[in-house]
């Protein structure tokens, strides 16, 4: 077991684990074949789980296991959920975009890295790192990555929350 300056490790990481800034079990992710990423605990006892999204973006999608986002040319990494509110990292490759879609609830999207766009109610808005916006999810919307960039990394905070690979996550409006 490894020690963290923030909290003692409580889960032994696999041998091929990639370490990130953070605490406890959120400090590592793996790209081992057959290991499906899942949500980490919000806390373990009185130890708060901390995850550095900038460091994690350095490793997504190449160095840690990600999963296909249902019905979109994107990859996702589950981060946190309490069953109602949740957060996932999304990676959209250059020139790709989600289909125009709707889903239950609302969500915040925070651009971590890369230039992209959000289409909302028929309008297209440019999104750059540091931008945060809230989507009323019953209004048709989509996110995409610029063709000339390295891709588009977003954190999606949603309520109600559905896994990125769930068929129930969104309803595509494109044929």
Q: What's the pLDDT tens digit per position in 12-31?
A: 555 665 555 444 444 445 56
Choose between 72 and 5: higher pLDDT: 72
Amino acid 34: pLDDT: 65
Q: What's the pLDDT tens digit per position in 102-152?
A: 998 889 999 999 999 999 999 999 999 999 999 998 999 999 999 999 999
Q: Which residue has the tokens 């990394």?
A: 153
Distance (Å, rounded) from C-alpha 161 to C-alpha 164?
A: 9
Q: What's the pLDDT tens digit per position in 87-105?
A: 999 999 999 999 999 998 8
Of 153, 132, 155, residue with least CA distance to 144? 153
Query: What are the chain's domains?
Result: 1-65 (no CATH), 67-175 (2.60.120.10)
Q: Which region holds residue 24: left if phi is over 0, alpha if psi is between -120 and 50, else beta?
A: left
Q: Which pTM was predicted?
A: 0.80
Q: Which residue has the tokens 């989600």?
A: 98
Amino acid 79: pLDDT: 85
Distance (Å, rounded) from C-alpha 41 to C-alpha 38?
A: 10
Amino acid 35: pLDDT: 63
């Amino acid at each position: 077991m490894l020690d963290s300056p923030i909290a003692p490790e409580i889960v032994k990481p696999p041998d091929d684990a990639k370490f990130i800034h953070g605490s406890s079990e959120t400090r590592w992710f793996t790209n081992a074949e057959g290991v499906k990423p899942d949500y980490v605990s919000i806390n373990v006892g009185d130890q708060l789980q901390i995850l550095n999204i900038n460091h994690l973006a350095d490793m997504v999608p190449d160095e840690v296991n990600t999963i296909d986002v249902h019905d979109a040319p994107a990859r996702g990494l589950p981060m946190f959920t309490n069953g109602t509110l949740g957060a996932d990292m999304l990676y959209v490759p250059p020139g790709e975009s989600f289909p125009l879609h709707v889903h239950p609830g609302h969500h915040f999207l925070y651009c971590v890295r890369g230039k992209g766009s959000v289409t909302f109610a028929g309008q297209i808005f440019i999104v750059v790192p540091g931008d945060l916006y809230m989507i009323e999810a019953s209004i048709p919307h989509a996110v995409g990555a610029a063709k000339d960039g390295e891709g588009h990394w977003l954190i999606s905070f949603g309520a109600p929350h559905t896994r990125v690979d769930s068929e129930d996550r969104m309803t595509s409006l494109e044929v």
